[in-house]
Chain A
Amino acid sequence: MSFMNSVAVVGVGETDYSTESGRSELVLSLQAINAALKDAGIGHDEVDGLLRWSVDTSSEATVAANLGLSNLSWFGEINQAGNVGAALVANAAAAIHAGLANVVVIYRGVNGRSGRRYGRGDVTGRSGRGSAAFTEPFGMLTPQHGLAMTTRRRMHETGVSSRDFGMVAVCEREHANRNPRATFFEKTLSIEQHQESRVIVDPFHLFDCCLETDGGGALVLTSVERARERDGHVAMIRAAAQSGYSVRNFIDTAAVGLAPNLWERAKITPSDISVAQIYDHFAPFVLFALEDYGFVRRGEGGDFVSAKEISWDGGSLPVNTSGGHLSEAYMQGMNQLIESVRQARGESTAQVSDAQFSFVDTGIGTGAVIFERGE
């Protein structure tokens, strides 16, 4: 019972992105939801479903009370870390397809720079408990430590270089320079600046690392029939998939396990994708995801990126067209879901022409969504 192309994202909304929002995570969430419902042309009183990241602080009950929802009948949250965006979309689509809800809002609001900082392990640190007893006592304290391990090993196995993944950062910056919402809208980046930037956790240079951002974002999902009432193209959910972390070998990403399932559900292949958003907490993982999802073969990602094939300006597969987590904002997948919808609807600031299939990975293989442009 697939929900293929029966459910759409009909509205997207976000706040400004800053390093000091000066307001609560709840207010950021509510402002984003208001914007998304306005974009959808759907009234607050029609929302009957809410879904959120468990790691966030604004509960469904509190959000529902502030929105004045009287019909809330389906809600929930998904736990892991920042990487559950696609899982939320998959579950919301399933709920709508099954008739459990008509209009579902997926939301988040985070003071990711002025409050709890992912980059310092504020959200993921476990004080040496559970499996962290085997990592944190040795200095594996933040997400970047484990990811740097995988990066080093893949550099060793495939010959990919820092300069290769520096081109990810450069291409994304060029996209951000077209996007007035982006944190780095007005700042350019050259490969030389990338290579000369200070090393944070070797092999990651400063410009390999994502931003830390205060902001909010929201998506409104409903049936494709209902979504057609809005003017313009419809961002239909062609397929969505999620997977748990099962990869602990410091070589592969979870996309190795997710990809067959995703492509089977979508009934298309990577070559059908026009534009991709890929979870870029760290630049090399864009390249690894391209390899592990099957857009290119293992070991070819470096050449692909160095040839600027991921650039909006002439590349064969533009990636992270809003600037991504490196140069637009780090909303842990939410801003990339929004950008993926914009591409399917033809509304991006770096619009890819004829974007029939718009792909978004929300956590290096732990979840992905493919949107199809509908009329």
Chain B
Amino acid sequence: MPDKEWDRPENLPLPVPDEDSLMFWQGLSDGKLLLQTCIECGTKNYPPVSMCCQQFNFEWEDAQGTGSIFSYVVTQQPVHPALKGHTPFLTVIVQLDEGPRITSNLVDGNPENIEIGSRVELHLVELSDEVTLPLFKLCSD
């Protein structure tokens, strides 16, 4: 279920949807992580692209929402003003089980015990009517 509780640094930029990514962001607002899939080659593009295989037609497939940590960084010094007062700050790349690698955050992420390969599941965080972020949390088992 969407969650409004995650303590997000208030000055982090918000995503600005455009024509090519609107489906993705609308999907999140509707509670789904949609992967843009080329109907020609089947590639699941993340972020969405404008053209694949010289055509502009895509299917949007519902992702399972499970994956594992592919890499991560911990911002220890506030190298950007938006992170002032919010360090250490954890950013992860999740490799979804469908393949795409997604830059995200863990709502329950403790930088101390995170590992490459840790299993995670999707956890949507609704910031407004327009913007819901695809965040993740560690699987309990």
Contacts and interface: CB of A to CB of B under 8 A. Distances in A.
A152 B72 contact: yes
Given A134-B47, A134-B103, A149-B71, A128 B76 contact: no
Interface of B: 9, 12-18, 21, 46-47, 70-77, 79-83, 88-91, 93, 101-105, 111, 116, 133
B80 A120 contact: yes
Nearest to A200: B77
Contacts of A121: 80
Contacts of A129: 16, 18
Given A129-B18, A198-B77, 10 more contacts: A120-B79, A130-B18, A133-B47, A134-B46, A138-B133, A139-B9, A141-B80, A153-B116, A201-B76, A203-B73
A198 B87 CA distance: 13
Nearest to B86: A139
Nearest to B9: A139
A119 interface: yes
Contacts of B89: 139
A123 interface: no
A145 B105 CA distance: 13
A318 B45 CA distance: 41
B76 A198 contact: yes
Interface of A: 119-121, 125, 127-142, 144-145, 148-150, 152-153, 156, 198-203, 249-250
Nearest to B82: A141
A140 to B, nearest CB: 6
Nearest to B25: A133
A120 B7 CA distance: 23
B116 A201 contact: no
25 contacts: A127-B13, A127-B16, A128-B14, A128-B16, A133-B15, A134-B46, A134-B103, A137-B133, A138-B12, A138-B104, A138-B105, A138-B133, A140-B91, A140-B103, A141-B13, A144-B79, A145-B73, A152-B72, A153-B70, A153-B116, A156-B116, A199-B74, A199-B77, A201-B77, A202-B75
B78 to A, nearest CB: 10
A137 to B, nearest CB: 5
B107 to A, nearest CB: 12
